[in-house]
Amino acid sequence: MRKFLQLFYILTLFCSSTFCYKILLYNPKFAQSHVTFTGKLADTLAAAGHDVVVYQPELNENITISGSKNKNVRFYIKPKDMDFERGFSIDSLHGNVFEEATFSSNTNMATIFNRIKTGFCERILNDNENFKKLRAEKFDLGITEHFESCGYGVFKKIGLEKYITTYSSSIFPLSVELLGVKSHPSYLPGVMGSTTDQMNFLQRIWNYINYFGESYMIKSMFNSGSEKAIIKHYPEFNMDDAIADSAFYFVNSDEHVDFAQPITHKIIYMSGLGKIQSQPLEKKYTDIFDSAKRGVILFSFGSVAQSSHMSSEMKKAFLEAFSQFPEINFIWKYEKDEDQIAKEYKNVFTGKWLPQNDILDHPKLLAFISHGGMNSVMEGAAKGVPMICIPLFADQKRNSLMLQRRGMAIKLEKTHLTKEKIVETIKEIINNQKYSKNAKLISRMIAAKPTKAEERVVKYAEFAAQF
* Inter-residue contact 462 to 20 (CB < 8 Å): no
Q: What is the pLDDT of residues 357-376, one digit of tens each?
A: 999 999 999 999 999 999 99
Report the pLDDT averaged over residues 248-263. 94
Asked if residue 102 has pLDDT above 50, the reply is yes
Residue in 344, 346, 340, 351 with CA at minimum distance from that of residue 306: 351
Q: What is the pLDDT of residues 371-416, one digit of tens each?
A: 999 999 999 999 999 999 999 988 899 999 999 999 999 999 998 8
For 16-25, 357-366, 433-442, which range has the lowest pLDDT when averaged over its residues?
16-25
Asked if residue 171 has pLDDT above 90, the reply is no
Q: What is the pLDDT of residues 37-92, one digit of tens each?
A: 999 999 999 999 999 999 999 998 888 899 999 999 999 999 987 665 555 555 55
Cα–Cα distance for residue pair 151/127, rounded to 1 Å = 13
Report the pLDDT averaged over residues 284-301. 97
Q: What angle do CA 230, 233, 234 make, to 5 degrees?
A: 80
Q: What angle do CA 153, 121, 174 make, to 5 degrees?
A: 65
Q: What angle do CA 34, 35, 38 make, to 5 degrees?
A: 85
The pLDDT > 70 percentage for the chain reads 92
Report the pLDDT averaged over residues 199-212. 90
Long-range contacts of 54-58 (CB under 8 A, 24+ apart): 54/24, 54/25, 54/26, 54/27, 55/24, 55/25, 55/26, 55/27, 55/130, 55/134, 55/154, 56/27, 56/28, 56/29, 57/28, 57/29, 57/120, 57/123, 57/124, 57/127, 58/28, 58/29, 58/85
Q: What angle do CA 174, 169, 303 make, to 5 degrees?
A: 135
For 101-110, 250-259, 322-331, 456-465, which range has the lowest pLDDT when averaged over its residues?
101-110
pLDDT interval class at 121 (50, 70, 90): very high
Of residues 178 and 174, more confidently modeled: 178
Asked if residue 315 has pLDDT above 90, the reply is yes
The pLDDT > 90 percentage for the chain reads 69
Asked if residue 100 has pLDDT above 80, the reply is no
Position 16 scores a pLDDT of 42
What domains are there in the chain, each with its CATH number? 17-270 (3.40.50.2000), 283-447 (3.40.50.2000)
The strand pairing partners of 144, in sequence order, are 26, 165
pLDDT interval class at 259 (50, 70, 90): very high
Report the pLDDT averaged over residues 417-431. 97
pLDDT interval class at 275 (50, 70, 90): confident
Indicate the pTM of the whole model.
0.90
Asked if residue 19 has pLDDT above 90, the reply is no
Position 90 scores a pLDDT of 54
For 173-187, 324-338, 429-443, which range has the lowest pLDDT when averaged over its residues?
173-187
Cα–Cα distance for residue pair 261/197, rounded to 1 Å = 10
Position 83 scores a pLDDT of 63
Residue in 74, 216, 241, 219 with CA at minimum distance from that of residue 152: 241
CA dihedral 412, 417, 422, 423 (to 10 degrees): -140
Position 15 scores a pLDDT of 47
